[in-house]
Amino acid sequence: MKIAIEKKSIVKQTFGEMPENPEYPMPEEAKNRIGHAMIRIGESDLMFSDTFPGQPVQKGNQVTICIGSSDVEQSKQIFEALQQGGKVNMPLQETFFSPAFGDVTDKFGVTFQIYTEGQHQ
């Protein structure tokens, strides 16, 4: 038996299409790289991003797992648990696209992004 799985592109945004932080100018070689892309396969969302120029690719960071939540407090709990014995790459904070987003590498070397859906506070 074969099951048909619908694939649908939902989002594709380059680093150059994102709002630029004047304190950290965007390198020209980064502007055409994918900063965020997402496709839906069945009921699951897969999110992708290119590496930023100068960012090394090594075991553990070639794949980033994104955990989504609709609750800021739940996102904080997940982030806190993952950072135990690991390394915070970007503290959980409000961004232009999320009320609470952060990036952490756990104690096993796996990188996670915690993304909170919903309105900014």
Note down pLDDT in tens along the chain; length 121 residues. 444 445 555 788 898 998 888 888 889 999 999 888 887 766 667 777 888 888 777 766 667 788 888 899 999 999 999 999 999 999 999 999 999 999 999 998 888 899 998 865 5
Q: What is the pLDDT at residue 61?
A: 62
Strand arrangement of the beta sheet that strand 64-69 belongs to: 64-69, 111-116, 101-105, 87-93
Q: What is the pLDDT at residue 106?
A: 92
CB 67 within 8 Å of CB 78: yes
Q: What is the pLDDT at residue 8?
A: 59
Q: What is the pLDDT at residue 3?
A: 46
| Helix and strand counts by DSSP (H, E) for the chain | 1, 7
The gap between the terminal CA atoms of the chain, to the nearest Å, is: 48
Q: What is the pLDDT at residue 5?
A: 47
Q: What is the pLDDT at residue 84?
A: 96
Most distant CA atoms of the chain, gap in Å: 55
Q: Cα dist. 18→15, 53, 72, 107 in Å?
A: 5, 16, 23, 30
